[in-house]
Amino acid sequence: MAQELPRLAAQLAKARSRIAELTQSHKRVQAQIAALEQQEAELERQAAVARRMAREDLALKAQARRQEAQSQRAALAVQFAQLLDEEAKLTSSAQQLQARKARIYRLGLPGQDGEDPVAT
């Protein structure tokens, strides 16, 4: 089991790194979703102004652009959910790896001086 410690430490480090990447990705996607929501509201406003000015052609263009923004936002919402799901799974895996490493140490297998030979 002592040989397993370096492998566990490497897996744990990799999982933590990937979790950090996923966190950044989901924050970026969340910001993109918020920007698209603002864009949709602005395009809806533009369409209303165009209609008040009897410019149905401009209103239709604004509505088409708003629908495109909605489609993009919907796709990002799916991506956001997938990122959160993957992050949750990796977090659970990292916790299991940490618990496994802790069990090995409780069995008395750390270095002879009692220090952790593989710091996390």
Expressed as residue numbers, the domain containing 52 is 4-106
Instruction: Name 46's Cβ contacts closer than 8 Å, sequence gap at least 6.
Output: 58, 59, 62
Q: Are 8 and 103 in contact (CB under 8 A)?
A: no
The answer to whether residue 21 sits within a structural domain is yes
How many separate domains does the chain show? 1
Task: Give the pLDDT confidence score for residue 109 in this predicted structure.
Answer: 56
The answer to whether residue 112 sits within a structural domain is no
What is the DSSP code (8-state) at residue 94?
A: H
The answer to whether residue 119 sits within a structural domain is no
What is the DSSP code (8-state) at residue 118?
A: S
The answer to whether residue 44 sits within a structural domain is yes
CATH number at residue 64: 1.10.287
In order along the chain (120 residues), what is the average pLDDT of each group of 10 residues?
79 93 96 97 96 96 97 97 95 92 75 46
pTM score, whole prediction? 0.75
Task: Give the pLDDT confidence score for residue 9 in this predicted structure.
Answer: 87
Q: Are 56 and 50 in contact (CB under 8 A)?
A: yes
User: How far, in whole angstroms, is CA 29 from its chain's centroid?
Assistant: 8
Q: Tokens 């969340």 label which residue? A: 30
